[in-house]
């Protein structure tokens, strides 16, 4: 039997960290189609720390709503580090937020390639002006990959916020 966790769930901890600083969060989602925003707004009181979300599923929406340079999408693909970083930066720039998260990936079941298999997800994060990114490759079906993406995004936001407070 596992011992109960002493840490609150990521969404509760995220809310605590953002509220303590008076910061707002903006999300930019492609492969998750708004699931991160839904996870945030499922929590009562989220209007105190969640500012807005952008669902930018098409390449055009990434450019129009977030300011991602279309040449970067053409050169690197929508599922790339440069696009994830630009999405995160654009989300914060087009919102009243100090924190942003962006996800762009291949949830499947099709669409993968040798260098970008199904399950590849790029994350972009902005925390108080600091931009970072990372790539994960999740296994499973479409629903599983999307759920893993949401969980990872929330957990990593908590880690980055805790580090920035230290």
Q: Where are the domains of the chain?
A: 10-165
How confident is residue 166, by pLDDT bands cut at 50, 70 and 90? Answer: low
Q: Which of 94, 99, 105, 164 is CA-nearest to residue 134?
A: 105
What share of the chain in percent tops pLDDT 90? 93
- Per-residue CA distances from 37 to 1, 94, 116, 160 (Å): 32, 16, 25, 18
Query: For 33-91, how does the pLDDT look when each residue is reduced to its tens digit (9 = 90+)?
Result: 999 999 999 999 999 999 999 999 999 999 999 999 999 999 999 999 999 999 999 99
How confident is residue 4, by pLDDT bands cut at 50, 70 and 90? Answer: very low
3-state DSSP assignment of residue 147: helix
Sign for the CA dihedral angle at 32, 33, 35, 37 comes to: positive
Q: How do beta strands 130-137 and 99-105 pair?
A: unpaired
3-state DSSP assignment of residue 125: strand
- d(C-alpha 63, C-alpha 30), whole Å: 12
Chain position carrying tokens 């087009």: 94
Query: For 92-101, how does the pLDDT look when each residue is reduced to its tens digit (9 = 90+)?
Result: 999 999 999 9
Q: Which of 7-11, 126-130, 157-161 comes out lowest in average pLDDT? A: 7-11
- Residue 103: is its pLDDT beyond 80? yes
Domain made up of 10-165: CATH architecture: Alpha-Beta Complex (3.90)
Chain position carrying tokens 């990521």: 10
pTM (2 decimals)? 0.94
Query: For 127-147, how does the pLDDT look when each residue is reduced to its tens digit (9 = 90+)?
Result: 999 999 999 999 999 999 999
């Amino acid at each position: 039997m596992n011992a109960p966790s002493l840490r609150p769930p990521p969404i509760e901890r995220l809310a605590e960290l953002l509220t303590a600083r008076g910061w707002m969060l903006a999300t930019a989602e492609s492969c998750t189609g708004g699931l991160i925003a839904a996870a945030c707004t499922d929590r009562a009181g989220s209007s105190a720390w969640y500012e807005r979300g952008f669902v930018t599923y098409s390449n055009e929406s990434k450019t129009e709503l977030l300011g991602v340079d279309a040449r970067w999408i053409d050169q690197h693909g929508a599922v790339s580090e440069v696009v994830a970083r630009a999405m995160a930066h654009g989300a914060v720039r087009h919102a009243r937020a100090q924190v942003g998260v962006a996800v762009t990936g291949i949830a499947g079941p099709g669409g993968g390639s040798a260098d970008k298999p199904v399950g590849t997800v790029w994350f972009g994060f902005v925390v108080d002006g600091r931009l970072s990114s990372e790539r994960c490759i999740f296994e499973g079906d479409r629903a599983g990959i999307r759920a893993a993406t949401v969980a990872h995004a929330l957990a990593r936001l908590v880690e980055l916020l805790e580090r920035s407070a230290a």
